[in-house]
Structure 1
């Protein structure tokens, strides 16, 4: 199975993300918004109950561990490395966007669209449009 075409690997990943999102909603009544799940674990967020912190930490560790295991198993295509300052800037911009948009791609794009949320539709169209424009601009600039 470690010779799957990259599109099949992506499809498998999407299926697993959808299943995990549904499972979290069905089991705990929670939306899988990774930025919100992560933010509640940051220091200074004392309003998050201890039991609530446990499932959040388990979920994030499962995402990281599952990604690592699937990488070892499926050998995804290698992508070009980018300079650390560029990655840090990109991370800050993504973080700013999730605060500005009141959520991230998982919360709006995966869960919100599945619940037919108009707000999530607008947010998803906005961040997808910005992503398309960024790719187009970087390719145009060379």
Structure 2
């Protein structure tokens, strides 16, 4: 159980922050939308506070657990860059990202979010299968 405790607590904090943003501001906690609005100068205070919370998360982890979170990335930089660009393009094309559709969209029983999450998961499975097939 202790192996999964940080992930469980992190998931609970994501859910709590998403619910608070929806209840207190009427906004969906989709990161692509929040960053997009911040870049356009819309709702700067709220959007900047949300993004700052994301960026400062590792510092809170350090204070709570006494060490930096362990992050292991086994892909090469070109794959990471292409993947990031594809995720960014896909989140704009799909009118949202995994956080907006997966965390709040599914909780609101949105059919569009259900379709988006099914697409995200299917695409991830296919991508992993292809990359493993090519030995990447």
Deviating more after overlay: 107-116 vs 61-70: 61-70
For the structure 1 residues 67 and 78, does the alpha-carbon distance in structure 2 shift closer, same or farther, using more than 3 Å as the test? closer
| Secondary structure of 1:41 counterpart | helix
Q: What are the residue-to-residue correspondences of 1:1-142 with 2, within 5 Å?
A: 4-5=2-3, 7-42=4-39, 45=40, 48=42, 52-71=43-62, 73-74=64-65, 75-80=68-73, 82-142=75-135
Gaps of 5+ in 1: none
Alignment partners' CA distance in 1, 2:26 and 2:125: 33
Instruction: Report how many residues are paired.
Output: 132
Q: TM-score, normalised by structure 1?
A: 0.83
For the structure 1 residues 119 and 71, does the alpha-carbon distance in structure 2 shift closer, same or farther, using more than 3 Å as the test? farther
Q: TM-score, normalised by structure 2?
A: 0.86
Deviating more after overlay: 113-122 vs 9-18: 9-18
